[in-house]
Chain A
Amino acid sequence: MPVCIKRAYGSGPSEIDISGGAEPIGLKLKTYDGNTTESYLFNATHPVPKPSSGNKHSYTATIFLHSDELNTEIYSDPKIYSGGVPAVPDPNPNGYVAWTGAQIFVADDTNDTYTQAAGVQDDSGTEMVAQGLTSSKTDLLATYNASNMKSVGLVGGVGSIGPITSAQRISKYVRLQGTLGTTCSAGSTVPATIYMRYSVTS
C-alpha cells in the first residue's frame, strides 16, 4: 500500500512505518521516547509499571497517515477507531491479563504540530492533557468502534488532499497514551486492535 501509518518519535521527530510490510511493527506503548529505535520496537523494554496509587502512563505516542503515492489519489475522511475492549481468550496460553484498570486514551485534539512526549523514563509518561498536547481525551477502546469512528482530519485541515507530488504526511497528528490504575493486573493485556480508515476517490 502506498499509504501507511507512521509513528513520530524523538526530538526531530524521526519517523517509522508501523503498518507496512509483511510484519508490521505496530504500536507499542512504553515509558520511553528518545532518538533511538527503543522508542517503537515491539519488545518488553520500558514497560509501564503498575501504580501503587493514582495512575501511571505510557509516553504519548504520535501517529499519522503518510502517502508516497504520487500524482494519482485524492484522500479524504481519515478516522481512527478500535475493535473494542478485548476479552481474555479461553484458553489463554499466553497468560494475557484483562484490561481492567488499563485504558488507551486518544487525544480529542489533532493538529499539525509535533511535540515530543515527556515523562520520567521507566516510570510514567506525562499525562497528555497535563503536557498540553490536547485539551481533553477519550477512552479509545471503550468509545470508538466501526460504528462510531473518530475523525482525524487531513493535514492543514482541508476537506480533501491530492494528488500529491511528493511523499508527505496526509493526516493530522493523532496522539495515543496508555494509562494504568491501581486495579490493573501485572502482565501483558490481551492484544487490542486499533485501526485507521481513510477514503480514496477511485
Chain B
Amino acid sequence: MIHDWDTHFWMARVPSEEWEEWISAEDHGSHEPIFQTANKIRIEPITTLSAQAILEAEVPDGYTAFLRTDRIEIVMKGPDAARVPKLIYVMALEKGHWDDPGRVPLSTVPLKDGFRAELRIFPDGHGEVDFNSSGNFISEVANMGECDLYRFTEV
C-alpha cells in the first residue's frame, strides 16, 4: 500500500515467463508470498519532489528480503526534532529462511550474512542513505542525472 504521506515505494522483480514482471507497493504488500519470490528489489521515489534516491538489490538464492517503513512520532518536542528523520525506508537481506518474513520483527534477525540499508527522510524532505553489511555486501552509488542509484551487491 502507498500512503499519501509516503515519499517512496517499493518494486520487486519476480520470476516470469515474460521478459520481466515487476510488482509494487501499489498493488501488493511485502508480506505476501509473491514478494518472497523476488530476485530484485527497489525502493524508488514517488514523485520528483521526493528525495531523489533509489535503493536496489539483487536477491541471491538462499536469502530472504525484508522491507519495512519505520515511522518516528514525537512524544516530547525539543529543537532537535526538526533535525531527525520522520520516515525511514528499510531494505534488508539476510541469508536463511523465515516463515512469513513480513511478520518477523527485524530486530530479531541478527546481521550475520546480509545487509541493512536505510533511506532516511527528514522533515525538510531531503534524504540520507545508511548502509550496514556483514561484510559480503557492498554499497555503490551512481548518479543517474537527477537521481542517485544505490546498489547493494554481494561480493
Binding site for B on A (CB under 8 A): 1, 3-5, 18-19, 24, 26-27, 63, 65, 72-74, 76-77, 80, 83, 86, 89, 146, 151, 159-160, 176, 190-202
Are A193 and B81 interface neighbours, CB within 8 A?
yes
Are A191 and B77 interface neighbours, CB within 8 A?
yes
Cα A59 to Cα B139 in complex, Å, equals 48
Are B74 and A194 interface neighbours, CB within 8 A?
yes
Are B107 and A151 interface neighbours, CB within 8 A?
yes
Q: Does B151 contact A (CB under 8 A)?
A: no
Are B67 and A202 interface neighbours, CB within 8 A?
yes
Cα A199 to Cα B103 in complex, Å, equals 10
User: If the complex has contacts A83-B84, A86-B79, A199-B68, are A159 and B105 also in contact, measured as CB distance less than 8 A?
Assistant: yes
Give every chain A residue within 8 A of B89 (Cβ-Cβ): 202
Are B75 and A195 interface neighbours, CB within 8 A?
yes
* 8 A–B contacts from the bound complex (CB under 8 Å): A24-B74, A74-B31, A83-B78, A89-B79, A193-B74, A198-B70, A201-B30, A202-B69
Cα A130 to Cα B76 in complex, Å, equals 25
Are B77 and A26 interface neighbours, CB within 8 A?
yes
User: If the complex has contacts A77-B105, A77-B107, A159-B103, are A201 and B74 also in contact, measured as CB distance less than 8 A?
Assistant: no
Give every chain A residue within 8 A of B102 (Cβ-Cβ): 74, 201
Are B10 and A160 interface neighbours, CB within 8 A?
no
User: If the complex has contacts A24-B74, A195-B74, A201-B68, are A160 and B103 also in contact, measured as CB distance less than 8 A?
Assistant: yes
Cα A91 to Cα B67 in complex, Å, equals 43
Residue of B9, B25, B78, B105 near A76 (CB, 8 A) is: B105
Are A76 and B73 interface neighbours, CB within 8 A?
no
Give every chain B residue within 8 A of A3 (Cβ-Cβ): 71, 73
Are B105 and A197 interface neighbours, CB within 8 A?
no
Give every chain B residue within 8 A of A197 (Cβ-Cβ): 70-73, 88
Q: Does B1 contact A (CB under 8 A)?
A: yes
Please name 10 further chain A to chain B contacts, defined as beta carbons within 8 Å, in addition to the given A193-B80, A199-B90, A201-B102, sorted by A numbering. Answer: A3-B73, A5-B75, A26-B77, A63-B75, A151-B107, A192-B76, A195-B81, A197-B88, A199-B69, A201-B31
Question: Counting chain A CB atoms within 10 Å of each CB, which of B1, B77, B106 scores highest?
Answer: B77
B residues 103-123 with Cβ under 8 Å of A?
A: 103-108
Q: Does B60 contact A (CB under 8 A)?
A: no
**Residue ID in chain B nearest A83 by CB atoms:** B80
Cα A146 to Cα B81 in complex, Å, equals 12
Residue of A63, A176, A196, A201 near B72 (CB, 8 A) is: A196
User: If the complex has contacts A86-B80, A202-B69, are A76 and B103 also in contact, measured as CB distance less than 8 A?
Assistant: yes
Cα A86 to Cα B77 in complex, Å, equals 11
| Distance to closest chain B CB from A22 (angstroms) | 13
Are A200 and B78 interface neighbours, CB within 8 A?
no
User: If the complex has contacts A76-B103, A202-B89, are A86 and B71 also in contact, measured as CB distance less than 8 A?
Assistant: no
Give every chain A residue within 8 A of B71 (Cβ-Cβ): 1, 3, 197-198, 200
Give every chain B residue within 8 A of A77 (Cβ-Cβ): 70, 105-107
Cα A63 to Cα B72 in complex, Å, equals 15
| Distance to closest chain A CB from B90 (angstroms) | 7
| Distance to closest chain A CB from B11 (angstroms) | 12
Give every chain A residue within 8 A of B76 (Cβ-Cβ): 26-27, 191-194
